Structure formats: C-alpha cells, structure tokens
Amino acid sequence: MTTDERTQTMPATEAFERLGSMSLSAESLESVLQAVADLTKQVLPGDVEASVSVLVADKPATFVHTGQLALDLDESQYGRGHGPCLQAAASGELVEVADARTESRWADYMRRAVELGSLSSLSVPLGSSEVLAAGLNIYARQPGAFDDDAVRRTAARFARFAGAAAANMHAYQHAREMADNLQVALQSRATIDQAKGILVERHRITPDQAFHLLARASMAANRKLRDVAEHLVATGELLASPQRR
C-alpha cells in the first residue's frame, strides 16, 4: 500500500469514545497523552506520525511520540531553537506547514524535514500557553496532508482533549497534594494538642502556657514544633527544656 492509498484505520467517533472512557484517576499524564498521539496517528488519513512537545522552564522536550520520525523532527527543532512545534507550544496558535519544500519560515529546519521525509506538518497547541506550553505535532510524509478543514478540525479536537486531560490531571494531582498536606497538618495538630495536654497535667498550667513551653523548647532545640511534640508524647521528655532559676 502506498502513502496515497493509505486511509484512516479508525473512525474519529470511536477514537474520541476511547479517550472519553479513560479514567484520569487511574492513568498517568504520560499514558493519556500517549493515547492521544496513538489515536491521532490511527484516525488521520495519510502516513502520519505524532508527538506532544512540552516547554518546561522554556526548555522543550518530547513527552510522547508514535515513531522515530516525529522524535527526530522535534529534536531537530529543539537543537535549532525554532520550528513549527516550538512556535505552536509557545504562542498557543496553530501552525501549519503545507509543503516543507517551499516553506519560507525556518529554512534550515525545513531542509532537514525534507531530508528526513516529512513534507507537511500541523502543530496544534494543547491550550493556553500560560497554563500549559505544549503542542500536538503531526508530521506527514506527503505535502498538503492537512488541506482538508475536516482533518484540521479533527486534529484540533485531539489537541483540546489532550489539553483538557493535562489540566484536569494537574488539578487532580494538586487536590491530592492539598489533601495529603491537610492530613499531615491534622496529624501534627493532634500530636501538638496531646503534648500540650501532658504539660498541662504535669505542670498545672493553662493550654496557652503549655503551647509557649513547646514553642520555647522548639526554638532552643532548633527543631520543628511538631518534632518536639512527638518526642514529648513518645518519651515524656521535653527537648531542651529551659532550666528554671
């Protein structure tokens, strides 16, 4: 089968149903984006390869890819510091190359793309560059592979799904971190309250005075208040307790 004879192997509706059925709580961000790239390759007509480029602290990296061609083309742009995938990720705008042989932008990269066998490409941002500087890159071996508006719309839908998944995954992970931090804080509070209770009973003082004793011991021992409280609860000893005159 030649490149021109190759057609899409999966209907777009089936691909999006598969993506929609993925559970973000059971998947990693990498697995979700890899699924987007793989399904993009299967759905879009023509002989294409796909990747997802991400800018982290202004440093680009290919997060996932479907084949060596996509990885080589991404890294060729990274080495030069410019190209369609970097432009899309940084600007948040769709970037299309209709024919690499006649494209006037990024001339040195275009020569390399032709050498590697990619004659057209489409780089679609995953969302706002302020939220996530990333793009879905689709490389075709024939020119004009993305002339059809339906193809561009399908590619944009994949990118929107990837962007939404990345944003939701980030929100989910942030919520988990907040929950974990809250749990730690609650456990620390319980330990500190227990330590205060020991001091109140031992010295017949108020809870506020007990807290100040713990705080002074924390400063004197150069240890966290929680650590001082845990030590008192576990051993009955107050670390670096100031000597009374």
Task: Give the tens place of pLDDT for each residue, 78-111.
Answer: 999 999 999 998 888 899 999 999 999 999 999 9
pLDDT tens-digit readout, 162-188? 777 666 655 555 556 666 666 676 677
**One domain for residues 75 and 187:** no
170 inside domain? yes
pLDDT tens-digit readout, 211-221? 888 888 888 88
Q: Which two tokens stand for residue 240?
A: 């670096």
* Cβ atoms of residues 223 and 232 within 8 Å: no
Does the predicted model carry a pTM greater than 0.75?
Answer: no
Q: Which two tokens stand for residue 118?
A: 């990619």
Q: What is the CATH number for 41?
A: 3.30.450.40
The string of DSSP codes covering 26-55 is GS-HHHHHHHHHHHHHHHSSSSEEEEEEEE
66 inside domain? yes
**One domain for residues 192 and 145:** no
Percent of the chain with pLDDT over 90: 29
Confidence of residue 5 (pLDDT cuts 50, 70, 90): very low
pLDDT for 107: 96
pLDDT for 73: 97
Q: How far apart are CA 54 and CA 76, in angstroms?
A: 15
Confidence of residue 130 (pLDDT cuts 50, 70, 90): low
* Cβ atoms of residues 126 and 52 within 8 Å: yes
Q: How buried is residue 67: exposed, middle or buried, by Cβ count under 10 Å (0-12/13-18/19+)?
A: middle
**One domain for residues 76 and 22:** yes
pLDDT for 181: 62
243 inside domain? no
More confident residue, 120 or 222: 120
Percent of the chain with pLDDT over 70: 81
Q: What is the CATH number for 222?
A: 1.10.10.10
Using the predicted structure, report yes or no on whether residue 53 has a pLDDT greater than 70: yes
* Cβ atoms of residues 196 and 211 within 8 Å: yes
Sign of the CA dihedral 184, 186, 188, 194?
Answer: negative
List the beta bridge partners of residue 61: 54
**One domain for residues 210 and 135:** no
**One domain for residues 116 and 194:** no
The total number of structural domains in the chain stands at: 2
**One domain for residues 57 and 150:** yes
**One domain for residues 129 and 144:** yes
Confidence of residue 161 (pLDDT cuts 50, 70, 90): confident
**One domain for residues 189 and 100:** no
Mean pLDDT on 129-151: 84
Q: How far apart are CA 236 and CA 238, in angstroms?
A: 7
Give residue 85's domain range. 12-174
**One domain for residues 121 and 141:** yes
152 inside domain? yes
**One domain for residues 31 and 112:** yes
